[in-house]
Amino acid sequence: MEKKAVKDFFFSFVLIALGIYCVIEGMRIYRVAAAAPYNITEFTISPAFLPVVLGVSLVLCSLALCIQSLKAGGKRLQENWHTYWMMAKKGLAPALRHRDTVSLVVGLAIIAVYTFLLLGRLPFWAASLLFLVPLMVYLRAAKPWKILVVSCVGIGLVYLLFQVAFKTSLP
Amino acid sequence: MISSYLGSAILTVLTPYNLVVLFLATLSGLIMGILPGLSATMAIALLTGLTYNFPTQSALIALLGVYVGSISGGCQSAILLNIPGTPASAATALDGFPLAKQGRAGFAIFLAETCSMIGTIISVVFVLTLTPLLTSFALKFKSWEFFLLTIFGIVICGTITAQDNVLKGWISGILGLLVAQIGLDTVDTFARFSYGNVNMMSGIALIPVMIGLFGFPEIAKAFNHQEENHVLRMSGFEVKQGFHLIGKHFLAIIRSAVIGVGVGIIPGVGEDTGGWLSYWASKTNSKNPETFGKGEPLGVISTETGNNACIGGAIIPVLSLAVPGSAPAAVLLAAFLMHGYRPGPLLMSESPAFVYQVSIYLVAASLAMWMLGLLVARGSMKLLGIKKKILMPLIYMLCAVGAYLINYNLFDVKVMFVFGLVGIVLSALSFPAAPFLLGVILGPMCDSNLRRALRLSDGSLLPMFTRPICVVFLVVIVFMVLAQFGVFHRKGATAGACEISKTENQGAE
């Protein structure tokens, strides 16, 4: 219960910041749209109107979430706001060191390399092979030869379905 | 005359060639629907090119087969993997996946496929009877009504999908609406939140967002060291109990089908909204609403009936107004035009048989989908039941291909990755992803209609409070928001939202 309240408490600040940014960016859009060539001076018909409304709504909802998390945190947290920070600090270090977290970060890094670096620079089959094999090996999904076979069959089927049957071009 | 049209359409579909086309197309649709990231829209778009050289009737059968197959197929991955194959099946995952976790995946798939078929067939009745009539109601919807409809959709979706705190559902919806603001606005072509990036100016495509939000948290679970192997265990279809349950909930099925058709008729609002609204209606009317989200079969029944009934509903405005009711219907409209049909107000006088042909082919496709859906269920179970550490990297590759094929643009693959991270954060903090997705879907409709309405009223919000349909929407929205903040709570307004939240949290624990 307390853990959840702490998470909500801190995330509500991120959301409030995002909402404020949307309002500020909305006001910038309004100023630009009010000038030539758009000349939209009426705020309600400006392209900034909905982003500002949504930004304000996000701030209000996030404030409500923040207040709720404070009230739901129980007496210990309500009496001392500092406790929130202490709990977050206390919980953060073990969470970051947890092997699932490390595994998640490494896995996402391999996916990011495939998405941002390999795709488009190498042929699809090569990029996918360079992605699938290391990721499955890291996850210890199966024996290496099995991983290689599965990867090749998977890539082959994708080629067959999209390139041959549907005549589409792959990245 | 009508019977001769219907008879002729039945004979056409029963020719061996067309039967083969029907089953192959429906199977392709099912596979596309089952595989996360490959949407119904994409399935129809891909098949349209392939059917270019087909005889027109066979092409029509193939297109409708793939449409029905792909919308229904999405339920299988939603149930087996908790990743909706298509946005239409997002609500199916809420109860389908818990059922699969309880070892009743086969039962959930049987319910989903059977109700998909029933939903499609009921919607065909509406196609046949209401095509000339019902569109008049949709025509009454002007900009203000469409704007409020989108807000209504977000509020409902946020309310029903938030597990512990409704605020999180609404925040998720607002975030989705904000994402939809990225790019050139549809009224003045003003670039918002684009930062000079040409790709951002064209807006954020829906499919990469959907794949990222729903697919990534599941893919990320494969990185955990403790894998739940028992989750994906195939069970029998429990046919007898399934039919018994369907019979027991027949009124809910009819209600879901009517909701689905109604939502489908409204242009731009697609199968996903139909599924969510049907789910919400069943949950609201249930004596045990607390069982929803924990493996309640009625959740699967209503969602699948509702989203498949949208198929017929979405086709009604295509046929009578040449206005698509949903994104897949928009591609279908383009395919009709490519094959020489001219849907629209003159269709009934120019090609009176067309409506009946479409109706019969839809029924045939739904029957084929039901048979194939159950036949491939074990195969898809095997396909999706492979060790997650092997399957998920392969699924990510498919997701990347799916995201890329929307616009043949690698930017969409990157967008998918970014929204995948967003999905992981939302999932970790118990924020539902569905309202976010709905916000992205409805955002352009919300913005363009609000802006158009405000332009017509010289920036005044007053007309929103004077139009009868708007007033109904406003009252319902305000009622729902106030109800969540405990205004109508017995203890009175002082109890506030926190009390409600506390109670819910305690209940959840």
pLDDT, tens digit (0-9, with 9 covering 90-100), for B492-509: 444 444 443 444 344 333
Domain membership flag for residue A170: no
pLDDT at B141: 75
Do residues A68 and A107 share a domain? no
Distance, CA of B166 to CA of B157 (rounded, Å) = 10
Q: Please name which of B235, B194, B222, B213 lies closest in space to residue B79, comparing C-alpha atoms.
A: B235
Interchain pair B393, A131: CB under 8 A: yes
Q: Rounded CA gap, B12 and B360, in Å?
A: 10
Looking at this protein, which amino acid is placed at residue A49? F
Given this model, what pLDDT does residue B209 score?
85
B314 or B132, which is more confident?
A: B314
- B181, B194, B382: which to substitute to probe chain A, counting the most A Cβ within 10 Å? B181
Both tokens assigned to B146? 């469409």
Structural domain contains residue A171: no
Shared domain check, A129 and A78 = no
Q: How far apart are CA B228 and CA B187, in angstroms?
A: 49
And the tokens for B361? 């082919």
Burial class (CB in 10 A: 0-12, 13-18, 19+), A89: exposed
Across the range B229-243, mean pLDDT stands at: 70
Whether residue A56 is found in the same domain as residue A7 = yes
Distance CA B294, CA B100 (A): 11
The pLDDT value recorded for residue B401 is: 85
Q: What is the mean pLDDT of chain B?
A: 82
CB pairs under 8 A between A and B: 169
What residue spans define the domains of chain B?
2-388+407-466, 467-509
* Residues B256 and B278: beta-carbon distance below 8 Å: yes
Task: Spell out which residues of chain A touch residue B174, defining contact as CB-CB under 8 Å.
Answer: 54, 57-58, 61
Strand intervals (E) in B145-297: 183-184, 191-192
Peptide bond into B328 cis (omega under 30): no
Same domain, A30 and A48: yes
What mean pLDDT do residues A131-153 have?
A: 91
Q: Which two tokens stand for residue A34?
A: 């009010």
Return the pLDDT at B411: 92
The answer to whether residues A84 and A107 belong to one domain is no
Q: Mean pLDDT throughout B123-147?
A: 78
- Using pLDDT thresholds of 50, 70 and 90, give the confidence band for residue B489: low
Q: Which whole number is the average pLDDT over B263-277?
A: 77
Taking 70 as the threshold, does the pLDDT of residue A1 lie above it? Answer: no
Q: Is residue A36 part of a domain?
A: yes
Which tens digits make up the pLDDT trace of B163-196?
678 899 999 999 999 999 999 988 888 889 988 8
Residue B366, token pair as written in the block: 């739904």
CB contact (8 A) between residue A107 and residue B455: no
pLDDT value at residue B116: 92
Cβ burial, residue A79 (10 Å; 0-12/13-18/19+)? exposed
Q: Which two tokens stand for residue B16?
A: 């061996």
Alpha-carbon span A147 to A143, nearest angstrom: 6
User: For residue A106, what are its two tokens?
Assistant: 């490494």
Q: B201-210 pLDDT, tens per residue?
A: 988 887 788 7
pLDDT for B227 equals 53
A20 vs chain B: nearest CA distance in angstroms? 13
Residue B489: count other Cβ atoms within 10 Å of its Cβ.
16
**Cβ burial B322-353 (10 Å sphere, 16+ → b, else e):** bbbbbbbbbbbbebbeebebebeeebeeeeee
Q: Does B463 touch chain A (CB under 8 A)?
A: no
Question: Which residues, other chains included, contact B261 with Cβ-Cβ below 8 Å and sequence gap of 6+?
Answer: B122, B123, B126, B130, B309, B310, B312, B313, B316
State residue B419's pLDDT score: 93
Inter-chain touch A104–B421, beta carbons under 8 Å: no
Please report residues of A whose CB lies closer than 8 A to that of B416.
115
Residue-range definition of the domain harbouring residue A120: 100-165
Taking the alpha carbons of B80, B82, B87, B91 in that order, is the dihedral positive or negative? positive
Q: In the predicted model, is pLDDT for residue B364 greater than 90?
A: yes
Residue B505: Cβ-neighbour burial (10 angstroms; 0-12, 13-18, 19+)? middle
Find the residue in A nearest to B425 (Cα): A11
Nearest-neighbour CA in chain A from B190: distance (Å):
7
- Alpha helix ranges (H) inside B408-467: 410-428, 434-456
pLDDT of residue B233: 62
pLDDT computed for residue A30 by the predictor: 93
- Residues on chain A touching B185 (C-beta within 8 angstroms): 47
Q: How close A55 comes to chain B (CA, Å)?
A: 8
- A166: pLDDT strictly greater than 50: yes
Which of B258-262, B307-311, B320-324, B372-376 shows the lowest per-residue confidence on average (mean pLDDT)?
B320-324
Question: Are residues B493 and B486 in contact, defined by beta-carbon separation less than 8 angstroms?
Answer: yes
Q: Are residues A15 and A73 in the same domain?
A: yes
Residues with Cβ within 8 Å of B1's Cβ and at least 6 positions away in sequence, in order, are B352
Instruction: Determine whether A156 is exposed, middle or buried from the number of CB atoms within 10 Å of its CB (0-12, 13-18, 19+).
Output: exposed
What are B111-120's pLDDT values in tens digits? Answer: 999 999 999 9
Tell me how crowded residue B140 is: count the other CB atoms within 10 A of its CB: 10
Chain A interface, best mutation among B47, B48, B227, B401, by max A CB count within 10 A: B401
| Cβ contact B255:B291 at 8 Å | no
DSSP code of residue A169? P
- What are the structure tokens assigned to A153, written together? 């069959």
Structurally, chain A folds into a number of domains equal to: 2
Phi/psi of residue B430, each to 5°?
A: 60, 35
Residue A69 lies in a domain: yes
Q: What pLDDT does residue B121 have?
A: 94
The C-alpha angle with vertex B259 and arms to B257 and B262, in degrees rounded to 5, equals 110
Whether residues A91 and A105 share a domain: the answer is no
**B482 inside 8 A of chain A by CB:** no
Quote the CA–CA distance of A106 and A109 in Å, as a whole number.
5
Tokens 């491939």: give the residue: B376
Interface test with A, best of B184, B390, B456, B460 (most A CBs within 10 A): B390
pLDDT at residue B40 in the model: 77
What percent of chain A has a predicted confidence (pLDDT) above 70? 85
CA-based radius of gyration for chain A: 25
Instruction: Flag whether pLDDT at A55 surpasses 90.
Output: yes
**Residue B417 contacts A where some CB pair is shorter than 8 Å:** yes
Nearest CA in chain B to A57: B174
Confidence of residue A132 (pLDDT cuts 50, 70, 90): very high
Bigger pLDDT: B135 vs B50: B50
Distance, in angstroms, between A9 CA and closest chain B CA? 11
Query: What is the mean pLDDT of the segment spanning B371-385?
Result: 78
Q: How far is B61 from chain A (nearest CA, A)?
A: 18
Q: Which pair of tokens denotes residue B85?
A: 């194959």
Tell me which of A28, A44, A58, A75 to substitute to probe the interface with B (most B C-beta atoms closer than 10 Å).
A44
Furthest-apart CA atoms within chain A: distance in Å: 66
Q: Do A90 and A131 lie in a common domain?
A: no
On the question of pLDDT at B453 being above 60, the answer is yes
- Closest partner residue to A47 (CB to CB) among B175, B190, B390 is B190
- Which residues on chain A are in Cβ contact (under 8 Å) with B48? none
Q: What is the ipTM of this complex?
A: 0.90
What is residue B494's predicted lDDT score, i.e. its pLDDT? 43
Please report whether residue A147 resides in a domain.
Answer: yes
**Is the same domain home to A38 and A81?**
yes
Mind spelling out the 3-state secondary structure of B382-394? HHHCCCHHHHHHH
Q: What is the mean pLDDT of residues B3-17?
A: 91
Both A66 and A105 in a single domain?
no
Domain shared by A21 and A87, yes or no: yes
**So what's the pLDDT on residue B345?**
63
pLDDT number for residue B503? 40
- A89-95's contacts with Cβ under 8 Å and 24+ in sequence apart are A91/A3, A91/A6
Q: Rounded to whole angstroms, how far apart are CA atoms B85 and B331?
A: 18
Of A56, A78, A95, at which residue does a domain stop?
A: A95
Of the two residues B36 and B216, the one the predictor is more confident about is B216
pLDDT of B222 > 80? The answer is no
Closest C-alpha to A73, from A146, A12, A157, A139? A12
Check pLDDT > 60 for residue B314: yes
The whole-angstrom distance between A80's CA and the closest CA on chain B is 19
Collect all residues of chain A within an 8 Å Cβ-Cβ radius of residue B396.
111, 114, 131
Q: What number of other Cβ atoms are within 10 A of residue B190's Cβ?
A: 18
Q: Give the lowest-confidence range in B278-287, B348-357, B447-456.
A: B348-357
Residues of chain A contacting residue B181, judged by C-beta atoms under 8 Å apart = 50-51, 54
Q: In the prediction, which pLDDT does B492 show? A: 45
pLDDT (average), residues B374-399: 78
Q: Does B497 touch chain A (CB under 8 A)?
A: yes
- Which residues of chain A does B460 touch, with a Cβ-Cβ cutoff of 8 Å? 44
One DSSP character per residue, A45-94 reads GSTTHHHHHHHHHHHHHHHHHHHHHHHHTHHHHHH-THHHHHHHHHHHHH
Among the partner-chain residues B167, B193, B501, the one whose CB lies closest to the CB of A61 is B167
pLDDT bin (cut points 50, 70, 90) of residue B42 is low
Comparing B65 with A76, the larger pLDDT belongs to: B65
Residues A51 and A6 in one domain: yes
- The predicted-structure confidence for A81-91, as pLDDT tens digits, reads as follows 666 666 666 66
Q: List C-alpha distances in Å: B444 to B187, B277, B331, B332.
A: 10, 20, 18, 21
Answer with the residue of higher pLDDT: B216 or B312. Answer: B312
Tokens of B460: 């005044």
What's the count of helices (H) and strands (E) in chain A, helices before strands? 7, 0
